[in-house]
Structure 1
Amino acid sequence: MTATVTADKVVSARRAPVSRGYRFELVKLVSQWRIRLLVLACWTAPALFVAGVSRQSTLPSDTLFGRWMHATGWAGPLVMLGFAGTWALPLLTSVVAGDVFAVEDRLGTWRHLLVAVRSPRRIFVAKALASLTVILLLVAGLAVSSAVGGLVSVGNQPLVGLDGHLLAPGDAALRVLLAWVAALAPTLALAAIGLLGSVALGRSPMGLLLPPLVALAMSVAQMLPLPVAVRLALPGYAFIAWNGLFTSPAQLGPLLIGVAVGLAWAVLATVLAYLLFLRRDFTNLAYDGSGRRALTVGALPLAGLTALTVGVVAVATPSMGSGIEQDKVQRSVATAFAHLYRMQTQELHRPAVTEAQLRASAACTKSDGQSAQEGAGNDWRCVVTWHLPGVPVPGTAIYQLDITSDGRFVADGDGPKEVNGYFLLRTSTGDAPNPLWQFDGNVELLTPH
């Protein structure tokens, strides 16, 4: 009798493609009530906020471009960007990316997910891409909603730049768009830090808090008297470096460095999260983070990247000081004053004058000359001098300056009253805002003396 042996066919289960895993993870994220609320808020709340503030008699003049929210709809998205970079975006990345892996630990669903996908690598890629998609949707909502709110409530008017020159509506729209695009680099860095914390810390709530804590630490560091090279090496610098887009010519050096650093942090933190994820033990139901490995594989490489960036920036640029020097302050104040004086001349219906005819100059001192004439502070005082055609005596005006460590300053007029001592101008058509009463400016930190 002949026995026939039939070999069993070994059927290997196929791994789920990344596209299917991506759609699955995206549906999981969007189905969460808190994500839906965030999407709704990001696409509606900024428009309501900008429209409401633009109709108020009191404007947030302490916020960059806040004093121009009555004049143009393009100031609203920039005010929103300043708020988003400090508060909203760190919190949004925390809720989305900081919980995308930890939620599986809390629910104990890793084994089910591995059986369905059969590839930890594809799980990581799908979760990372789904988080990125939701974050981009939220950022787009903040930008579009705030722009729509400003344009509907105020209109498509020119925007006053940080050196006092007028930006045409089309130019202003392009620069606003570029500012929001530049802010994506530090946003991606915070999202990658959220992924790293979610992978490394497991169920611990610290993974969820890591992006806002890092953002808070970077904000505090920007307030300290640190060298420019250290500031530029922080991944959140692009949240404030977009200011340079609103000068002529644009101050692109700090912005490009800030974007590059933010993207480098995003790539490195994502790679570290990927390596930690592949090395974890999915069979241990009591797994609660990588412990010491989170420090050695996570924090130390990022600290090394910061040190490397500081060294590269210090060698490539003159950036070991504060970057705020007397000559730069005087040049920035004089340039902004000349542009805004022409605007005031138009409002008062006086004969037109050019910057070349004005020959505006500024003499600025810090602490009445009793200390080093450089660095941030609210003790700068400037005397601006200008000339008018046919007038033998030059005009003078006094300003008190408050300069922050990132180079932004607010010039507060201190007389004479008919030039900058009052916030309204009496014109033939009624009262109008005085552009020389208070104005914002920017000192480029990386330029030489």
Structure 2
Amino acid sequence: MTAATATLEDDNVVGAAPRAHPVSIARGYRFEVVKLVSQWRIRLLVLACWLAPGLFVAAVGQQSTLPTDTLFGRWMHATGWAGPLVVLGFAGTWALPLLTSVVAGDVFASEDRLGTWRHLLVAVRSPRRIFAAKALASLTVILLMVAGLAVSGVVGGLLAEGNHALVGLDDHLLSPSAAAGDVFLAWACVIAPTLALAAIGLLGSVTLGRSPMGLLLPALVALTMQLAQMLPLPVAVRVALPGYAFIAWNGLFADPRQTGPLLLGIAVSLLWALLATTLAYLLFLRRDFTNLTSDTSGRRAFAAGFVPLAALLGATIAVVAVATPSTSSGITQAKVERSLATAFAHLYRMQTAELNRPAVTEAQLRSTAACAKSDVQHDAEGAGNDWRCVVSWHVPGVQLTGTAIYQLDITADGRYVADGDGPKEVNGYFLVHTPQGDAPNPLWQFDGNVDLLSTTPKG
């Protein structure tokens, strides 16, 4: 803090009457919230968050095609709980980084553009309370937007498709009540990476001042993390990125739940949020508010912002690498085979029910999978669209072993799409003929997920 700003906090001035006490944080917080929501762009964004997801999900329910390239998109006609998860995938990739940029990335910089810092300091009389009020106000608006995205997606999905069971990530059925709990829990989990981006926005807004880079910083950081997640990075590096929780919520819909990567992702995000907020606070207190043209230099931005966060990233990578066996891609042949066999058994039971055949259990099917990648028959690993698998299962009561072929496209984060490649009566067609008419074939194409941190067989 400079001498000029320190003078504002002196309780007594020689030869002058005692000054009034600083404005409370509660009053400053209310003032900052009113300032934010009075901006037309903030009002439009809040309105869009509370309306657009529901309208989108309802509109998809009226279409004949589905966004099958998105996780849970292929189930949007089956249950209302798939819609909010599709919205969540889009929000983590695009919406939330942009929203944090507009709100947190501009909350301090707007005072620089308007030249109102001295007026605000005279009114509040405490830089510390100004920072707390602005940070809390931006957090409130961001959480309001996140809540709007979640609630709107859920309401739109339930109104369009109803409260039905949801097919999980390994294709087991989740009851409506279980699906509801997991959907809201998944939305709650992405609050942590959202806070990390918001803290980076605060740091950029304080450090870069009038520069538009402060406003764009959270979006640029999020874009960089998305590009990194597409690369064949070791799992330790992937999990150490503050945006990993935007992806790891997928594990909530597996059986058993893949909570290890999610908990690590949340912890890393909270560490980034704490460090970035602390750096923004310290820089704000050291600022010279008597100079209207004062702007933090690029060198200070690098030293006080980039270097500590880069050090945190390096330390997190080291800790995760030591604590978990995560120095490779995490995608191994054994994991892929286990995941595919489990998903196939769940979906085979669904197909059996659709065709009104005698019910079977996973134990009776005893499904297994044999996979190869680019003609590598043993110890294949890594992402790619060149995985080819043969699933085998036993038909109960018949001395016969069934087989089905799948082509797998596995992304670097462990998600895969299994595309049926015959035989045609099992997975060769999109529709199956049931006594009630044609119905989607659950074995034709489906999503799955490989637990990157698991080392032992599940179950």
> TM-score normalised to the size of structure 2?
0.95
In the alignment, is the contact (CA less than 8 A) between 2:384 and 2:409 conserved in 1? yes
- Cα pair 1:204 1:288 within 8 Å, conserved: no
Is residue 2:119 matched to residue 1:124?
A: no
What is aligned with 1:385? 392
1:12 Cα offset (Å): 2.1
Q: 2: distance between equivalents of 1:440 and 1:177?
A: 21
Match of 1:277 in 2: 284
Q: Runs (4+) of structure 1 moved beyond 3 Å?
A: none
User: Which one of 239, 243, 247 corresponds to residue 240 of structure 1?
Assistant: 247
Aligned counterpart for 1:190 among listed residues 172, 197, 215: 197
Counterpart Cα distance in 1 of 2:409 and 2:61: 25
Alignment of 1:32-43 (within 5 A): 32-43=39-50
Q: Secondary structure at the match of 2:118?
A: helix
| Partner of residue 340 from structure 1, selected from 347, 352, 362 | 347
Question: Structure 2 residue aligned with 1:102, among 109, 112, 125?
Answer: 109
1:26-425 to structure 2, matched below 5 A, reads 26-369=33-376, 373-425=380-432
CA distance in 1, matches of 2:15, 2:204: 45
- Give 1:372 shift: 5.9
> Partner of 1:3 in structure 2?
none
Please give the alpha-carbon distance, in whole angstroms, between the structure 2 residues aligned to 1:371 and 1:39: 52
Measured in 2, the distance between the counterparts of 1:240 and 1:138 equals 19
Aligned AA (1:347): E
Q: Deviations along 1:157-181, whole A, 9 cap, x unmatched?
A: 0000011100000000000011101
Structure 2: stretches of 5+ with no match in the other structure: 1-13
CA distance in 1, matches of 2:327, 2:103: 37
The whole-number CA distance in structure 1 between the counterparts of 2:181 and 2:247 is: 18
Q: TM-score, normalised by structure 1?
A: 0.97
Q: Report if aligned partners of 2:232, 2:329 keep a CA contact under 8 Å in 1.
A: yes
Equivalenced residue count is: 443
Given that 2:368 and 2:392 are in contact with CA atoms closer than 8 Å, whether structure 1 keeps it comes out as yes
**Once the two structures are superposed, what CA deviation does each residue of 1:403-446 show, in whole Å capped at 9, x if it has no partner?**
00111000000001110000101000011110000010010000
Secondary structure of residue in 1 paired with 2:375: helix
Q: Give the whole-Å Cα distance in 2 for the aligned partners of 1:21 and 1:82.
A: 35
Deviation at 1:290, TM superposition (A): 3.5
Gaps of 5+ in 1: 1-6
Answer yes or no: is the 8 Å Cα contact 1:236–1:262 preserved in 2.
Answer: yes
Q: Which residue of 2 aligns with 1:442?
A: 449
Distance 2:62 2:357 in 1: 30
1:103-136 deviation digits (Å, cap 9, x = unpaired): 0000000000000000000000000000000000
| Matches of 1:176 and 1:360, distance apart in 2 | 29
What one-letter code is carried by the residue in structure 2 that aligns with 1:250?
A: R
Give how far 1:8 is off: 7.2
One-letter amino acid matched to 1:433: P
**Hey, what's the Cα distance between the residues in 1 that align with 2:193 and 2:72?**
21
Compared CA separation, residues 47 and 97, structure 1 to 2 (3 A)? same
